[in-house]
Amino acid sequence: MSLYLPRAFDERDLARLDALAAAHPFASLVSVDDGTPCVSHAPVLYARDGERIELTWHLARANPQSRHRGRVLAMLHGPQAYVSPGWYPDKAEQARVPTWNYVVAHLSGDVEAFDDHDSLIRLLDGLSATHEARAAGDWRFDADNPAERVQLRGIVGFRMCIDRVEFKSKLSQNHPVANRVSVIERLAASSRADDRDVAEWMRHTLESQTEGA
């Protein structure tokens, strides 16, 4: 499986991938067995050391995908926004049409499954530490509580070292600067959080390209 990735939208900045994974850690996980695609959705822990990227997650043991071994595609879905052709200064002369701006990453690799208690506890600790902090909560997995520890039997952990990164930021890079500035202004003024996030991604991309010109 590959992502349609025109050159203008091919994002190579791994620091921006870090930001995407931090803001949008809920992944779509795709595998294929006997020609049949299987998809699950789960929060993932993302870690990068240089160019080495690792994802970890868990699935319910009852989930058929928990028995998969081999390649998995993990899709991280970033912000997305509708772009009206009416926002472009050159809309009339260029006969502009509607489009959609978005950010997405496809991360692929071979998975290693694990179900030993120590590894699962480390995974749950990492997930709860990350997301409880966001929720202003303080829950932690209590490994000394038999009622909690027995629940480990119901999940399977997965570790994937990424060997293919396809990172797409479709942010109007194929448009004149005036169009891009206008779209940024419109999205930044929106009441939708995703629209404002896309505006920030667009602004960062435009500034980076302008500085590098």
Supply the Cα-derived Rg of the chain in whole angstroms: 20
Q: What is the predicted pLDDT for the residue at 213?
A: 60
Check residue 181 and give its pLDDT: 97
> How far is CA 17 from each of CA 21, 89, 115, 166, rounded to the nearest angstrom?
6, 31, 29, 10
Instruction: State how far the alpha carbon of 42 is from the alpha carbons of 78, 97, 139, 157, in Å.
Output: 15, 35, 19, 11
pLDDT tens digits, 197-212: 999 999 999 998 887 6
- Specify the pLDDT at position 71: 97
What's the pLDDT at 92? Answer: 78
213 vs 113, residue with greater confidence:
113
Cβ(165)–Cβ(133) under 8 Å? no
Check whether 46 has a pLDDT greater than 90: yes
**What's the gap between Cα 147 and its chain centre?**
33
The answer to whether the beta carbons of residues 106 and 78 sit under 8 Å apart is no
The residues, any chain, with a CB within 8 Å of residue 171's CB and separated by 6 or more, are 9, 101, 103, 180, 198, 201, 202, 205
| % of the chain exceeding 90 in pLDDT | 88
For residue 1, pLDDT beyond 80: no
Single out the residue of 15, 85, 91, 26 nearest to residue 53, CA to CA. Answer: 15
Q: C-alpha angle with apex 77: 73 to 79, nearest 5 degrees?
A: 165
As a whole number, mean pLDDT of residues 57-70 equals: 97
Write out pLDDT tens, residues 125-135: 999 999 998 89
Q: What is the pLDDT of residue 212?
A: 60
Residue type, 90: D
Average pLDDT over residues 50-78: 97
* pTM score over 0.85: yes
Instruction: Express each pLDDT in 134-152 by its tens digit.
Output: 899 999 988 899 999 999 9
Q: Tell me, letter by letter, the H, E, C secondary structure of 174-193.
A: CCCHHHHHHHHHHHHCCCCH
pLDDT of residue 83: 98
Give φ, ψ of 183 to 5 degrees: -65, -45
**Beta strands, E only, 21-98:** 26-33, 36-43, 45-49, 52-60, 71-83
Residue pair 82/198 in contact by the 8 Å Cβ criterion: no
Q: What is the mean pLDDT of residues 36-48?
A: 97
Per-chain mean pLDDT for the chain: 95
Rounded Cα distance between 36 and 57, Å, is 22
Give the phi and the psi of residue 145 in degrees, each rounded to 5.
-90, 110
